[in-house]
Chains A and B, each alone.
Chain A
């Protein structure tokens, strides 16, 4: 909410910190409503005018008391004053919600606009829970194209990747949404997906079976991107296919278009217990979603763009999962592609997945 850079849709609901007594009161109300650990967050924001005085953590309590007392006398009605104060955070929330509702498509935003929406989302989370998240809007690096390889010989079906993925990516716990599916296949039947079981509950590795994982393959020619009516999903420059959860209208056309079962829909409001939320987030990655939007594997964009492996790769106890930069000739993924006999699924569809399978 940069004051100098207001959009036509800005409501300007009394959260203008620059002038008026109301803005001074607003901070006192902040004290009255939310827990104290909000203070450090608060002070990280720019303050001026009354805020600088009232914002000092030490002063807040006494200032609040004084102010309340004087107002009690002045207004003669505690309830009136309280509800008046209570309005300020609500107003800020309303303002954020309003601006979020009418913001544009992330894909088309400038870096500055990306930063602004990220700031709004962080603030909104603070207002709602009193906690701070680290939300990134880091763009794709140059000369990076992510690719993934899966070693069928090594996978034993432990599903540690699935659990790590769910925890890393804040997926809905109620519906038990999972981006990764591990297909348990019978030996001697080849890659027979229709006879495979992707929902097993028994000890692994099961006798006479082998395992094969699928997830979003981040196609270089992704059919899901073409069909989206609002360009809410696209291929980033580093090859990751992402979704702007706030731009998605929830028509699920992409889901119908995906030949790899790579997309998931939030049929209800996703529920993640507050203490389980991974607070290291990316706008295009694992930030908490809302109901009625698509989501999918993003190769853990919040990790991969800072040089880490996706959670599934890190969690895999057998080393069946290999991730890396396809443009880096020294990367492991390149070694696999050059030295192993790799193949991809449904290559005849022309989707060019960046996900290869191989065997030792």
Chain B
């Protein structure tokens, strides 16, 4: 009963803190709301007219939505790179950063689910997927595995920080024996969401571009580079705009994680390129299309080369300690890396899997304005949610939000 009371008060206090703030905060939220509304409008058109309003066709049947979904799974998994040093290796105290990382995971997962729903032809019959009421093709379909791991990870990332914050809100210490097992589990789970999402594509013998044993590991490497890179940028913003304390050594440690992951990612890229181009087979055509274009169709060339350039430059910058330890350069490199990997995953992974088609037909894909509108709306929704979550979390952690017994 008392807990319920506390919870009610927490909700009330949270509502207060998220509705009040500086002008900058209000502007930021208004901007996001505008994008969300735009996205909703675009989605309403898509609902009315069908997925034909997107650039997808029978030839390229997955596009921007699934690309973003894939990328965001990686961002969600990045929280693990903060959880592990804190709770498992007990190496460094990331505890405060961890809460932010988990908030980011929640926002990323919500975006993932939104992207999947946006991609569905029949969102109104999605209940067919709910085990028990519908038919859940487990374990045969990797998509059902993905539903399980994503929702499980979402659950873990909501409950663990909620427990910690709920205790802190009451001015109590959180008990390690309660949340550490969950944190440990989430470490393995994060790797699972990645591998399973990669297996979604990797398991298709129809698409040689994806049917490649390196896909899963490369997913992990790029995710552990892009996710923590984003966290570094977010922590830097939080540090300058709130009284939330984040030490330099925390940022430096995360930067090291980013660096190693980015390096591994590049090594794997080289391995992939070698395999595709040293002794090209019929199965290398998608890679040829992606990197050099086929039959004069070159829509992805600028994207993939920009992405590779960004990745290489960012990795080189990060590799030098002197450059990495300079925060301004670090933030720049992280931004470069994040965008680079987003482009690489977004344009360079899903779309070329369909090109050329099963019989060699080359039909290109360009997202439409409506598709881009929905995508922006979902990203804005994620940012909106993340802002709310961090605002409450920071409020509690800095002691501004406390349960008042009266």
A residues lining the B interface (CB < 8 Å) = 101, 104-105, 108, 175, 177, 181, 183, 193-196, 198, 214, 223, 226-232, 246-253, 255-261, 263-269, 291-294, 349-351
CA A292 to CA B53, docked complex, whole Å: 12
Contacting pair B359 A229 (CB below 8 A): no
**A224 to chain B: closest residue by CB:** B206
Contacting pair B122 A229 (CB below 8 A): no
Q: Does B62 contact A (CB under 8 A)?
A: yes
Q: Does B119 contact A (CB under 8 A)?
A: yes
Contacting pair B206 A229 (CB below 8 A): no
The contact sample of 11 A-B pairs, CB cut-off 8 A, is A104-B135, A105-B128, A183-B359, A228-B141, A230-B129, A246-B125, A250-B121, A251-B121, A256-B61, A259-B205, A267-B54
Q: Which residues of B contact A229 (CB under 8 A)?
A: 129, 136-137, 141, 143-144, 147
- Which one of B62, B126, B204, B354 contacts A227 once the chains associate, using CB atoms below 8 Å? B204
Within the complex, the shortest CB–CB distance from A303 to chain B, in Å, comes to 24
Q: Which residues of A contact B144 (CB under 8 A)?
A: 229
Q: Which residues of B contact A246 (CB under 8 A)?
A: 125
Contacting pair A223 B359 (CB below 8 A): no
Q: Does B397 contact A (CB under 8 A)?
A: no
CA A229 to CA B127, docked complex, whole Å: 12
Contacting pair A260 B358 (CB below 8 A): yes
Contacting pair A350 B58 (CB below 8 A): no
Contacting pair B143 A251 (CB below 8 A): yes
Q: Which residues of B contact A264 (CB under 8 A)?
A: 58
Q: Does B39 contact A (CB under 8 A)?
A: no
**A259 to chain B: closest residue by CB:** B206
Contact flag A231-B137 (CB < 8 Å), given A247-B128, A292-B122 = yes
Contacting pair B358 A250 (CB below 8 A): no
**B356 to chain A: closest residue by CB:** A194
Contacting pair B121 A181 (CB below 8 A): no
Contact flag A267-B50 (CB < 8 Å), given A101-B124, A252-B62 = yes
CA A349 to CA B135, docked complex, whole Å: 28
CA A202 to CA B83, docked complex, whole Å: 64
Q: Which residues of A contact B62 (CB under 8 A)?
A: 252, 256
Contact flag A268-B50 (CB < 8 Å), given A214-B359, A249-B128 = yes
Q: Does B44 contact A (CB under 8 A)?
A: no
| 1/0 contact string of B130-157 vs chain A (CB within 8 Å) | 0000111100111110010000000000
| 1/0 contact string of B346-385 vs chain A (CB within 8 Å) | 0000000110111111000000000000000000000000
Contacting pair A193 B359 (CB below 8 A): yes
Q: Which residues of A contact B49 (CB under 8 A)?
A: 268
Q: Which residues of A contact B134 (CB under 8 A)?
A: 105, 230
Contacting pair A247 B61 (CB below 8 A): no
Contact flag A181-B359 (CB < 8 Å), given A194-B285, A251-B119, A256-B62 = yes
Contacting pair A292 B51 (CB below 8 A): yes
Within the complex, the shortest CB–CB distance from A193 to chain B, in Å, comes to 4
Contacting pair A248 B137 (CB below 8 A): no
Given pairs A291-B51, A292-B122, 8 additional interface contacts (CB within 8 A):
A227-B203, A228-B137, A230-B135, A250-B121, A253-B141, A253-B143, A259-B206, A265-B58
Contacting pair A226 B140 (CB below 8 A): yes
Contacting pair A349 B141 (CB below 8 A): no
Within the complex, the shortest CB–CB distance from A300 to chain B, in Å, comes to 20
- Which one of A230, A251, A252, A259 contacts B358 once the chains associate, using CB atoms below 8 Å? A259
Within the complex, the shortest CB–CB distance from B1 to chain A, in Å, comes to 34
Q: Which residues of A contact B121 (CB under 8 A)?
A: 248-252, 265-266, 291-294
Q: Which 10 A-B pairs have the closest CB atoms?
A: A250-B121, A292-B121, A194-B360, A259-B206, A267-B52, A229-B143, A268-B52, A291-B50, A268-B50, A193-B359
Which of chain B's residues 186-202 have a Cβ closer than 8 Å to chain A?
200-201
Q: Which residues of B contact A292 (CB under 8 A)?
A: 50-51, 120-122
Q: Which residues of B contact A257 (CB under 8 A)?
A: 204, 206
Q: Does B207 contact A (CB under 8 A)?
A: yes
Which of chain B's residues 106-129 have a Cβ closer than 8 Å to chain A?
116, 119-122, 124-126, 128-129
Contacting pair B120 A249 (CB below 8 A): yes
Contacting pair B361 A258 (CB below 8 A): no
- Which one of A183, A196, A247, A258 contacts B206 once the chains associate, using CB atoms below 8 Å? A258
**A350 to chain B: closest residue by CB:** B205
CA A229 to CA B136, docked complex, whole Å: 6
Which of chain B's residues 48-67 have a Cβ closer than 8 Å to chain A?
49-52, 54, 56-58, 61-62
Within the complex, the shortest CB–CB distance from A333 to chain B, in Å, comes to 24
Q: Which residues of A contact B203 (CB under 8 A)?
A: 227
Within the complex, the shortest CB–CB distance from A258 to chain B, in Å, comes to 6
Within the complex, the shortest CB–CB distance from A219 to chain B, in Å, comes to 11
Q: Which residues of B contact A198 (CB under 8 A)?
A: 359, 361
By CB atoms of chain A within 10 A, which of B137, B143, B201 has the most? Answer: B137
Q: Which residues of B contact A181 (CB under 8 A)?
A: 359
Within the complex, the shortest CB–CB distance from B68 to chain A, in Å, comes to 15
**A108 to chain B: closest residue by CB:** B135
CA A349 to CA B358, docked complex, whole Å: 12
Within the complex, the shortest CB–CB distance from B196 to chain A, in Å, comes to 13
- Which one of A194, A227, A269 contacts B141 once the chains associate, using CB atoms below 8 Å? A227
Q: Which residues of A contact B56 (CB under 8 A)?
A: 267
Within the complex, the shortest CB–CB distance from B399 to chain A, in Å, comes to 46
Contacting pair B50 A269 (CB below 8 A): yes
**B142 to chain A: closest residue by CB:** A227
Q: Which residues of A contact B120 (CB under 8 A)?
A: 249-251, 292
Contacting pair A249 B125 (CB below 8 A): yes
Contacting pair B204 A252 (CB below 8 A): no
Q: Which residues of A contact B142 (CB under 8 A)?
A: 227
CA A196 to CA B357, docked complex, whole Å: 12
CA A257 to CA B210, docked complex, whole Å: 11
Q: Which residues of A contact B356 (CB under 8 A)?
A: 194
CA A196 to CA B359, docked complex, whole Å: 9
**A252 to chain B: closest residue by CB:** B61
CA A294 to CA B357, docked complex, whole Å: 18
Within the complex, the shortest CB–CB distance from B185 to chain A, in Å, comes to 24
CA A239 to CA B135, docked complex, whole Å: 22
Q: Which residues of A contact B143 (CB under 8 A)?
A: 227, 229, 251, 253
**A177 to chain B: closest residue by CB:** B58
Within the complex, the shortest CB–CB distance from A211 to chain B, in Å, comes to 13
Contacting pair A193 B137 (CB below 8 A): no
Q: Which residues of B contact A231 (CB under 8 A)?
A: 135, 137
CA A251 to CA B137, docked complex, whole Å: 14
**B361 to chain A: closest residue by CB:** A198
CA A84 to CA B135, docked complex, whole Å: 40
Within the complex, the shortest CB–CB distance from B332 to chain A, in Å, comes to 37
CA A245 to CA B240, docked complex, whole Å: 54
Q: Which residues of B contact A293 (CB under 8 A)?
A: 121-122
